[in-house]
Amino acid sequence: MTVKRALTGTLATAFLLTLTPVSGAFAQELSVPVGSQADRSQQSIPRTGTTQASVRASWGQPASIDGPVGHPPISQWNYGNFVVYFESDRVIHSVLTPQR
C-alpha cells in the first residue's frame, strides 16, 4: 500500500506542476506614451442611457453609422474623436478613438 500511495502522490505532484502557469515567461510589456493618452474628464461624450435624438441634438450628425445588427439591435455612430454604441435607441457605451 505504501508504494501505491507514493506513486499516487508522485503522479498528483507531476500533474499539478504541469498546470503551473508559465505565462510570465511570455509576457509582453505595453506602454502608451502619456501624450497620446486621452483625458476623459476633459472630453465631452454621450453618457449611458442618452437617447439617439439627444446625441444628435448635442453632437450633430455622425460621420458614419454602422448597423443596427442583431437582436437587440446594436448600432455604432462614428464621430471624429469618439464612437457611440446604441442598443435600440439608448447609448450603452461611448469610447474615445486613439489619437495618433
State yes or no: pLDDT of 55 exceeds 70. yes
Question: Residue 4 pLDDT more than 70?
Answer: no
Domain range for 91: 2-96
Average pLDDT over residues 62-87: 92
Whole-angstrom Cα distance, residue 81 to residue 60? Answer: 13
Count up the domains in the chain and report the number. 1
Rounded-to-integer distance, Cα 54 and Cα 67, Å: 19
Q: Quick one: which of 86, 76, 99, 81 has its CA closest to 47?
A: 86
Which one has a higher pLDDT value, 50 or 7? 50
Q: With bands split at pLDDT 50, 70 and 90, how would you rate the model's confidence at 19? A: low
Q: Is the pLDDT of residue 9 over 70?
A: no
The predicted structure's pLDDT at residue 22: 56
Which H helix or E strand runs over 68?
Answer: strand 64-69
Sheet holding 64-69: strands in order across? 64-69, 74-78, 82-87, 90-96
